[in-house]
Structures are given as structure tokens and as C-alpha cells.
Amino acid sequence: MQNIAVELTAITKTFGENAVLRGIDLELGAGQVTVLMGANGAGKSTLVKVLCGVHSANTGTVKLYGEVFNPSSPSEAIRAGVVTVHQSINDGVIPDLDVASNLMLDHLAKPGSGFFLNKKKNNAEARKIAAAMALDVDVTQPVSELGLADRQLVAIARAMAHKPKLLILDEPTSSLSAAEAKRLFTLLDRLRDSGVAILYISHRMSDIRRIADRIVSMRDGKISGVFDEAPLDYESAVRAMLGHSLTDANIQIPDLGKPVMQLKNIGLQQGSQPFTVDLHANEVVAITGLVGSGKTELASVLFGLNKPSSGEIALMGAPYKPASQAEAIAAGVFLCPKDRASNAVIQDFNIAMNISVPFLDRHSAFSFLKNKSERSTAQRTISELGIVCQSDTDEIGSLSGGNQQKVMVGRWLAQASSVLVLDEPFQGVDIKARRDIGAKIRGTAAGRATVIMVSEIDEALEIADRIIVMNDHTIVGDHRNENINLNLVLTQVVGKTNNATGSNEHAI
């Protein structure tokens, strides 16, 4: 057993009523790459923020080589030796400055580092850092002229200048190509050999296979699995992350109606495997897959936000090529987008106004709004979805997250549709709201095709008649939600069977 670099004991963190970390016990070994996996909302990013000093834990202790580590700010964490490279590459570098300035930035920011710049000395120091990292760039070149991979490597080199004990990488390959990622991995191999503890957060199986010494799965604010015996059991790790408590989801699969929407040879992006699928009236289809598997891209194509790179779609037998969201809505295709705060909630509006936004033409005569019709629709939505509020004129911001989500789903249930697409409708909602929303979606599903994008398999099992698995921007599995073979679903989510040739090694 290697040295324990970092030891977390019983870490908890709550935001308001929301317990995000619920007792994390974890050890990170020196000279070891630990991959942390977890679905959205599992608490990964909160855990990282606790480690890098953005948040402080409510209870529990973190020890760094035996010493208590409780940083009150990111800069304190860095000084103590915990360095983080964030997902967005440009957060780690300043594009307008040259490489040398970037590498020396933290040194320059240190109090007492002198008033005047010594450019020569600076460049020399920077070259030393770059050489130590086998980073082959001209240090006088502006970072903005570098490719993404080099920028990422500069960001890491900058981090390494602190001689970290723990290096945290948050989805570092999300914008790198396969060749670029390879360079990053070579660098990480060297760092591992030099004894740095590395915590690597990623969803990409190809990365994980390449780099992981050990996998830790998180789910619902807890560690749900630790896998450190070679060969690593990737499937179990994914299973631990997504979980399937096999709730008795009492799904009555209705008789299929006729096909409402037919997708033929749809390619979601250049080079992805085209797929063909029919969506029928009355059925609720869950589309599941890891982050980056193409779920959101599919939702965008269905709603006319993006055009597919190939193939065609028919709606009720007629070609469907919406040029705008308004056309999609007019054709009866609705999308309830994910990330309600940025994509859906209109903060200045009350509940009734939020619900009516897409359908104001149906609540107005000669462009003049009909207050009564707007408010009665809102009141109906409130009672049907059990939205907890005082009246339909409450500010949307006064509602809890789950109730806001109900309003957003209610917005699109308020009018009849042919195809209703819901992208992560259970994101950031409590179990009660999730049940209410799910019941309402199923209760109104007759006559339309309903498509729900979810990462969590549990959620898919709970709501869908049919579960489609996506991987690498194509459909790799299609199951009826009845005596379903969960192992097969998980295998398809992980993408082993279909990708034995390594086609998902391509960067996204």
C-alpha cells in the first residue's frame, strides 16, 4: 500500500435543506490516479470545492499527509499543496498573456514579489518549469495562440509550479481531441511516478480505462463504491454510480399508438453512427446514457435547435424540418430544456406568466393578453402538479427548486403536444417532486410521444415504457421496460460491447 496522501473522514456539506455530501470517507494514495465518477448532482463538484477551499465542510476532517487541512480560500489550499485544474480550460490560463507570465502568475501574485517585472528572469524561470513538465512551447508566445491541449498543459504546468501534494483534474479532456488527450495522459503518468496524488474526475470510459489506478463512485452524496483491484471492474463502477435499487416501478405499458415521429438514419454529428428510431403515440421513452453520450444533442435536433448532420425526420408522416423553435412548437413538438435556471425560468415573472410564455398567442386576442385565460391555466397547472405556493401570482423565485421545476414542466404540459421532449426533468428536485412530475407526465401521455432524457437509470426505470441507451452519439440499446436486463443496459451505457474496436476513444 502506498502512502496515504489525503484522508477524508465523515465529510458532510449541506446547502440550506439540501444535504449534498452525506458522510464521505475517502483516502487518496500518493503516486496514484484515483478516478471519481458520479452522475449530475451526486456531489462530485461539491467534494472538489471542499478540497480546493471554495466551500468548507460542515463536519468531518481532511488530512493532508497526517496534518489537518482546512483551507478557508482557494489560495490557501494551493499554498498547502492542493491544486485544482478546472474543466473550463480558459479558467486556468490568461489567454492574452504569454506562456511565461501564465506560468509565473501565481509567483507574481504573491505579496512581496517585487514591484517591477524582471522579464528575463521570469522567462528563464518559466522555461525551467516548462522543461520539468516536458512542455515543448515557446514561453514568449501568447497563450491565445496555443491549441487547447497546450493551454491545458500550461494550466497544469502552472499548477505543478506549486509542487502539489494533491492534483485535482475536473474533466480535463472534455474539450481535447484524442491525440491531445494522449499528451495529457503522458504528463499525468510522469506526475504519478513522481508521487503526486491525483484525483481525476471524468465520465469518459476511454479516459478512465487509460489512466485509472482506482475508481471511486459517488452517488447521492456518498461513496457508493471503491474499485482498486486490477483489473478494474468498470461496469460495477458505473453501476455504483448510477445505482439501481430496483424500486418496484409499477409501469403499466400501454398499447402503442401509431408512430408519431420517425427518425431515419439520423447522424447527430460528423462521424457518429447514424440511427433509426420510431416514437409512437402513448409511449413514454427514456433515453439514457452518460454525460456526452449525445442525449442533449438528440433533444436539440428534435426541437429544431440543431440540424442533424445526416438523415431525416418525419412527423405524422410529413417531413419535419423546423427552422425555428416557434415552428417546432407550432408543429406540436415541445422541449422542456435542462438547467432550468439558465434555460427556462424567467426570474422577473410570476408563476402564471412563467407558465404562459410559449403560448401567449393562445392567451391573447388581437395581441391583447387575456388575463383570465392565462391565470386559469396557471391555477389548473398548480393544482394538477401540486405546486406549493400561495397563488398563481407568486414570484417564481419564492418557490423551492422542486416547485420551480414543476412550473417548468407544467409550462409544456399546459397545452397538448404531439411530441414532448423533457431533458433531465428531475435535475435538482427532491424525491416527492420527482414522483409528482413523473406521475403527471405518465398521466397525460396518451396520444403523444414522450421522450425523457435522464442520466440515472433509476429514473428511467421509474418513468418509461421503453428505455433507449445512447453512447457515443448513437443508439446502442432499445429495451421494453418489462423484466429488463439491467446488466445489459449497464453494459451498453458503459459502451464495452459496441466499442470493442475502440470507436469511442474518439474525443467528443
- CB of residue 372 to another protein, shortest distance in Å: 13
* Residue that has been written with the C-alpha cell 403523444 in this structure: 448
Contacting residue, 169, 353, 419, 445, with another protein by CB under 8 A: 353
Q: Is residue 372 part of the contact set for another protein (CB under 8 A)? A: no
Q: Is residue 357 part of the contact set for another protein (CB under 8 A)? A: yes
Contacting residue, 16, 111, 114, 231, with another protein by CB under 8 A: 16
* Beta strands 275-280; 284-288: pairing state: unpaired
Q: Is residue 73 part of the contact set for another protein (CB under 8 A)? A: no
Binding segment toward another protein, per CB under 8 A, in 91-99, 241-249, 281-289, 342-350? 342-350
Closest CA to 222 of 402, 41, 62, 51: 41
Q: Is residue 343 part of the contact set for another protein (CB under 8 A)? A: yes
Total binding residues toward another protein, as defined by CB under 8 A: 40
CB 58 within 8 A of CB 13: yes
Phi, psi of 429 (to 5 degrees): -125, 155
Compare residues 94 and 388 and give the one whose CB is closer to another protein: 388
What 3-state class would DSSP assign to 73? coil
How far apart are the C-alpha atoms of 160 and 146, rounded to whole Å?
A: 19
Binding segment toward another protein, per CB under 8 A, in 307-315, 358-366, 377-385, 474-482? 358-366
- CB of residue 495 to another protein, shortest distance in Å: 30
Q: Binding mask 298-337 vs another protein (x if CB under 8 A, - otherwise)?
A: -------x------------------xxx-xxx----x-x
User: Which H, E and C letters describe 294-336, residue by residue?
Assistant: CHHHHHHHHCCCCCCCEEEEEECCEECCCCCHHHHHHCCEEEE
Contacting residue, 1, 17, 231, 255, with another protein by CB under 8 A: 17
Is residue 218 within a helix (H) or strand (E), and if so which, with residue range?
A: strand 214-219
- CB of residue 268 to another protein, shortest distance in Å: 19
Compare residues 115 and 368 and give the one whose CB is closer to another protein: 368
Phi, psi of 327 (to 5 degrees): -65, -40
Residue 459 carries which DSSP code? H
- CB of residue 397 to another protein, shortest distance in Å: 6
Cα Rg of the chain, angstroms: 25
Residue 252, Cβ density class (10 Å: 0-12 exposed, 13-18 middle, ≥19 buried) = exposed
Q: Is residue 429 part of the contact set for another protein (CB under 8 A)? A: no
Compare residues 185 and 349 and give the one whose CB is closer to another protein: 349
Contact set with another protein (CB under 8 A) = 16-17, 305, 324-326, 328-330, 335, 337, 342-349, 353, 357-358, 360-361, 363-364, 367-369, 388-390, 394-395, 397-400, 403, 411
